[in-house]
Amino acid sequence: MIIRQYFQDLVHLLFPSICVGCEVSLFSHEELLCTECLYHLPFTDFHLDIDNATARQLWGKLDVQFAISMLYLSKSSRVEKILYNLKYGSQPEVGYYLGKMYARKLSQVPDMEQVDLILPVPLHRSKLRKRGYNQSSYLAKGLAEGLEKEWSDTLLLRSKATVSQTKKNRSDRYDNVENIFYIRDQGMVKDKHILIVDDVLTTGATISSLGNVLIDAGAKVSVATIARA
């Protein structure tokens, strides 16, 4: 065991892992995020308050059972860097790590006991092919494993490759995602409580569009995102 530890420490010294939040070299006991970044993560604690900012943002757009976000997102922040590495840095393992982290916070929340199935917001096949993975699928997998819930990344489909929402105004964002989602097997969601998982909540247009498709199919819907802008 001692020799193995020395070997692992040597490998880490020669090929150091980098923190996805601040890009410092990680110590051998750290994983993906350094201790300082973990300490300074801006947790929302929305899971402790049903009347939170994420839930209020969806009022009048989506009839949710509950809606929560784990972190606050601000420009040029650690969270922005983490999410950039998740989406564009070919580091899907960051999503799984964050999902497991959030699961530890949510495991004692009574509302989570009612969830039957966790589903990520799907990517269109063209974007999935280009990026190589759906970051929300990794979030959903980590969350589902941590909460011991069922999950699927094949049940929901996206029929249209929409352009980026980033520079669109609020109205255009809703138009951009209207009627773009469908369910492969509606019987799998009927009378189920579905937890929709995504990386970031901005206007709520994408999640509302998807959530209403699920509700029309007979499901109850809740929402969990890693961050909210």
Per-residue pLDDT of the chain (229 residues; tens, 9 = 90+): 555 545 445 444 444 689 999 999 999 889 999 999 999 999 999 999 999 999 999 999 999 999 999 999 999 999 999 999 999 999 999 999 999 999 999 998 888 999 999 999 999 999 999 999 999 999 999 999 999 999 999 999 998 766 554 555 555 555 567 789 999 999 999 999 999 999 999 999 999 999 999 999 999 999 999 999 8
Same domain (yes/no): 153, 85 = yes
**How many domains does one find in the chain?**
2
Kindly report, residue by residue over 26-45, the tens digit of the pLDDT.
998 899 999 999 999 999 99
Nearest to 83 by CA among 37, 148, 152: 37
Q: What are phi and psi of 51, to 5 degrees?
A: -95, 65
Same domain (yes/no): 16, 99 = no
What's the pLDDT score for residue 119? 98
Same domain (yes/no): 136, 81 = yes
Residue 144, domain CATH:
3.40.50.2020
- Strand-pair partners of 193: 220
Same domain (yes/no): 20, 49 = no
Instruction: Identify the residue whose tokens are 């929560």.
Output: 68
User: By three-state DSSP, how is residue 110 classified?
Assistant: helix
**Can you tell me the distance from the alpha carbon of 38 to that of 133, in angstroms, rounded to the nearest whole number?**
25
The residues, ordered by sequence, that sit 6+ positions from 153 with a Cβ below 8 Å of its Cβ are 119, 120, 122, 134, 137, 140, 141
- Strand-pair partners of 195: 118, 222
Tokens of 19: 């923190």
The residues, ordered by sequence, that sit 6+ positions from 149 with a Cβ below 8 Å of its Cβ are 115, 116, 117, 118, 143, 195
Same domain (yes/no): 35, 103 = no
Q: What are phi and psi of 222, to 5 degrees?
A: -130, 165
Same domain (yes/no): 126, 75 = yes
What's the pLDDT score for residue 166? 53
**Can you tell me the distance from the alpha carbon of 121 to that of 207, in angstroms, rounded to the nearest whole number?**
7
By DSSP bridging, strand 64-72 and strand 220-228 are parallel
Same domain (yes/no): 160, 207 = yes
Same domain (yes/no): 136, 207 = yes
> What predicted TM-score, i.e. pTM, was given to this entire model?
0.87
Same domain (yes/no): 100, 184 = yes
Same domain (yes/no): 6, 79 = no
Same domain (yes/no): 159, 99 = yes
**Can you tell me the distance from the alpha carbon of 53 to that of 208, in angstroms, rounded to the nearest whole number?**
15
The residue segments making up the domain with residue 96 are 42-228
Same domain (yes/no): 70, 155 = yes
